[in-house]
Amino acid sequence: MGLDDFSIYKLDLLIQQDDCSAFDEIHERYKGVLYIHAFHRLRDQEETKYLILQLFATLWDNHQTLELKFHLSGYIFTTVFNWVFKFITQTALPDLKTLKRKSHEKKIY
């Protein structure tokens, strides 16, 4: 029985025990769908690739201390959603502020 037959719960337990092959299996299972999920909102290939890379790097860096209150799959999708939201707000809000300022300046003059 290969790791591809294991549930996400079992893989999570194996990752916490430093099982690199379990981590590789999770990476293979989720990298594509996470990329699509993030790219759909970001519309930037490089930023999306970087975000997914960072997610898995962070997951491995914290694999021994990560205490999940729900399934690992829920954690990684929620993390991607939050990081995408943070990226969008950090890049879009300065543009909105500039537009509002320019709009306000036009009304004054």
Reported as a single tens digit per residue, the pLDDT across 29-76 is: 999 999 999 999 999 999 999 999 999 999 999 888 887 767 888 899
Residue closest to 66 by CA, chosen among 13, 27, 3: 13
d(CA 92, CA 95): 5
d(CA 101, CA 84): 26
Indicate the CATH number of 3-108 among 3.90.1150.140, 1.10.1740.10, 3.40.50.970, 1.10.1040.10. Answer: 1.10.1740.10
**Residues 6 or more apart whose Cβ sits within 8 Å of residue 73:** 8, 30
d(CA 5, CA 2): 6
The per-residue pLDDT for range 4-35, each reduced to its tens digit, is: 778 878 888 888 889 999 899 999 999 999 99
d(CA 90, CA 7): 36
Q: List the domain boundaries for the chain.
A: 3-108
Res. 109 pLDDT band, cuts 50 70 90: very low
d(CA 31, CA 23): 12
Please tell me the pTM assigned to this model: 0.76
Residue closest to 71 by CA, chosen among 19, 102, 30: 30
